[in-house]
Amino acid sequence: MRIKYLIVIALLFSFLAWTPDVAQAAVRHYRRRYRHGYVVRRRSKKKQAAIIGGSALAGAGVGALAGGKKGAAIGAGVGGAGGTAYDLKTRKKKVYK
């Protein structure tokens, strides 16, 4: 039982380490504003869906290891909510030049 929890924790940290690299590669739309010298980068709908779906899938996997079918359902919900929060926080970035 203890080994199962160690595996769950290791998987959770590996997914957390992987997520920011995907999100940084996902930004690609540019829009200039005023003359203050910054660019607003936006993320496509497809990339947003990939971030939210991937975090839901990771949550379901961790939940399944920890608590079976019910844990997978709970983990998918929590992972999807976390992915949505992450996406909303990071989808518009101002890059100063």
The range of the structural domain enclosing residue 60 comes to: 2-96
Backbone angles phi, psi at 31, to 5 degrees: -150, 130
CA atoms 76, 78, 79, 83: torsion sign: positive
Global model pTM greater than 0.85: no
Average pLDDT of the segment spanning 18-23: 53
Token code pair at residue 35: 């003359």
- Give the percent of the chain with pLDDT over 70: 66
Average pLDDT of the segment spanning 4-30: 63
Token code pair at residue 70: 């019910």
Question: pLDDT tens digits for 34-67?
Answer: 556 667 778 888 999 999 999 999 999 999 999 8
Q: In what order do the strands lie in the sheet with 38-43?
A: 27-33, 38-43, 93-96
**Count of structural domains, the chain:** 1
The pLDDT score that the predictor gives to residue 40 is 74
Residue 71 has pLDDT above 60, yes or no: yes
Among 39-43, 70-74, 86-90, which stretch is predicted with the lowest mean pLDDT?
A: 39-43
